[in-house]
Amino acid sequence: EKSYNIYIGHNLETTIIDFFKAQKYSQKALIITDTNIAPLYADSVKDLLTKAGFNAKIAIIPAGEQSKSLSVAETLYTQAIEQGLDRKSPIIALGGGVVGDLAGFIAATFMRGVPFIQMPTSLLAQVDSSVGGKVAVNHALGKNLIGAFYQPQAVFMDLEMMKTLPTREISTGLGEVIKYGFIYDHDFYTYLTEHQQEILQLKPEALIHIIARSCEIKADVVSKDECEAGLRAILNFGHTLGHAIEKETNYAVYNHGEAVAIGMVGASKLSFKLGLISQDVVDKMCQLLANMNLPLKAKNCDAQKIYQDIFHDKKTVNGKINWVLLEDIGKVCIKKDVPEKLVKETILEIL
Ligand code: NAD
Ligand code: ZN
C-alpha cells in the first residue's frame, strides 16, 4: 500500500501549490464541490491550481446526501469527459463527506482510476471520511452500497475553512472524535474532557490535536485491516444503532454524528448490561457527548423498527450482528451472540 501525506493547518497555500507542481499529473483537473462550499472556497482552490500550472474546472453538486447518487455521478463523468480529463488528470474533492465519497468514487472509476486529492472541509470529513480509502455512492435501497476502496494521493485540511462550518456540523464531527477515544485511546478521551471549551471554540491548537489524533487512530486501525476483516469493525462502534436511527428518521432529523452519538450511548448501555463495564463508563460517555452538544436519545423512533433495521445493516453477516462493545474507556471487544432481550431493553432506553 502506497502511503500519502495528510496536511493539517492554516495557510496551506504554498504546500498545496508545491504538491501539485511536484506531481506528474496532466494539466487538466476537476474540482468537485457542493453549492455551499463553492461560493466560499472554490475560486481560491482553483487559483492555487492555476498557480501550480493546472487548468482546473469547478463542478458543483447540490449540497446534501441526495447528491451521493449514480445519477449525480453520471453528470460528473460527463463534465470530466467534456473538460478533456485523461488518466493522469487529478480529481480534487473540496467539501464534506458527501463530496469526498462521491468525488472519490468518480476518481476510482473514471478511466479505471485517476489521481485523487482530498480537501475535506467538514470536521467529519477531516476526522473520518477522508481517511481510510472508502468511497461510495448510495442506492435508493441503501446507503453506500456501491463503492470501492480508493486511496487519495494527498489530503489537505485547511482549518481556516472550519470557521464557516455550521456549529451543528462541528458537533457531528465530534461524535466520531469521541468514538476514537472510547474505542482506542484513554488518553485521548482524557484530552477531550479536559479541552472541551477550546475544542468547541475551535482553538487552532486543540483542533489540530483532535484532528491529527483522530486521523492517526483511524489510519492505524485501517492499516492493520485494509479490507475490513476484523479490526476495522471497531470503527463501527455506535454505528449499528446509529444507522438504524438515521434510517428510521429518514435521514432528516439526526445527521450521522448525532445518530452515532445515540448509538454509542446504546452500545455503552449494552456493554454495561453484559457486565463488561461499570455504570461509571456509561455516565462518562453520556457526559462527554452532552458537553459536545450531542443528543443522547432519539425522539420519535419506533423501537420495533429499529430492532428490525439493525439486522439489515450492511455490516450484518448471516443475520448475526457484530456488536462492538466497550470493555473500558479505550478498549472494545466484538460480540456476536448478544441476547435479544438485552438489545430490546437497550433500544427502549435510547428512545
Ligand atoms: P456533508 O458533506 O453533507 O457536509 C455537511 C454540510 O456542511 C453540508 O451542507 C456542506 O455543504 C457543509 N459544509 C461542509 N464544509 C463546510 C464549510 N467549511 N463551511 C460551510 N459549510 C460547509 O456531510 P459530512 O458530515 O461532511 O459527511 C457525511 C457523509 O460522509 C455521509 O455521506 C457519510 O456516508 C460519509 N462518510 C464516509 C465515510 C468514509 O469512510 N468514506 C466515513 C464517514 C462518513
Ligand atoms: Zn461514522
The Cα 227–Cα 221 span in angstroms is 11
Clarify whether 10 is annotated catalytic.
no
pLDDT level of residue 143 (50, 70, 90 thresholds):
confident
Non-local CB neighbours of 220 within 8 Å, separated by 6+ positions: 184
pLDDT level of residue 202 (50, 70, 90 thresholds):
very high
Q: Which of 105, 122, 162, 247 to mutate to test the pocket of ligand 1 (most atoms within 8 A of CB)?
A: 122
Cα(164) to centroid of ligand 1, in Å?
13
pLDDT value at residue 227: 58
Cα(212) to centroid of ligand 1, in Å?
18
Cα(301) to centroid of ligand 2, in Å?
20
Nearest CA, atom 24, ligand 1 = 97
Structure-block grid coordinates of residue 313:
445493516
pLDDT value at residue 229: 60
pLDDT value at residue 311: 77
For residue 41, which atom of ligand 1 is closest to its CA?
Answer: 18
Clarify whether 176 is annotated catalytic.
yes
Q: Which residue has the higher pLDDT, 296 or 142?
A: 296
130 lines ligand 1 (CB under 6 A): no
Clarify whether 46 is annotated catalytic.
no
pLDDT value at residue 3: 82
Cα(318) to centroid of ligand 1, in Å?
31
The arithmetic mean of pLDDT across residues 37-46, rounded, is: 98
275-278-279 Cα angle (round to 5):
115
Nearest CA, atom 2, ligand 1 = 96
pLDDT in tens, 49-91: 999 999 999 999 999 999 999 999 999 999 999 999 999 999 9
The arithmetic mean of pLDDT across residues 285-308, rounded, is: 96
Active site residue: 46, 57, 134, 179, which one? 134
pLDDT of residue 1 exceeding 60, the answer is no
The arithmetic mean of pLDDT across residues 199-216, rounded, is: 97
pLDDT value at residue 319: 66
Q: What is the mean pLDDT of the chain?
A: 95
How many alpha carbons lie under 13 Å from residue 207 in its C-beta half-sphere?
Answer: 22
pLDDT in tens, 164-178: 999 999 999 999 999
pLDDT of residue 226 exceeding 80, the answer is no
Clarify whether 250 is annotated catalytic.
no
pLDDT value at residue 2: 67
144 lines ligand 1 (CB under 6 A): yes
Active site residue: 57, 209, 213, 232, which one? 232
Non-local CB neighbours of 85 within 8 Å, separated by 6+ positions: 26, 28, 29, 30, 91, 110, 111, 114
Distances (CA, A) of 99 to 33, 75, 93, 192, 204: 6, 14, 6, 28, 24
Q: Which residue has the higher pLDDT, 153 or 232?
A: 153
The count of residues in the chain is 351
pLDDT value at residue 282: 98
pLDDT level of residue 111 (50, 70, 90 thresholds):
very high
Contact 135, 101 (CB under 8 A): yes
Of all residues in the chain, the percent with pLDDT exceeding 70 is 96
The Cα 333–Cα 14 span in angstroms is 43
pLDDT in tens, 323-339: 999 999 999 999 988 99
Question: What kind of architecture, by CATH, is found in domain 5-164?
Answer: 3-Layer(aba) Sandwich (3.40)
The arithmetic mean of pLDDT across residues 208-218, rounded, is: 97
Residue carrying the nine cell digits 470557521? 163
The bound ligand whose nearest atom lies closest to the alpha carbon of 158 is 1
For residue 164, which atom of ligand 1 is closest to its CA?
Answer: 19
Instruction: Please report, for the chain, the start and end positions of each structural domain, with discontinuous segments joined by +.
Output: 5-164, 167-349
Clarify whether 138 is annotated catalytic.
no
CATH 1.20.1090.10 fits 167-349, yes or no: yes
The bound ligand whose nearest atom lies closest to the alpha carbon of 68 is 1
Of all residues in the chain, the percent with pLDDT exceeding 90 is 88
The arithmetic mean of pLDDT across residues 188-202, rounded, is: 97
The arithmetic mean of pLDDT across residues 115-122, rounded, is: 98
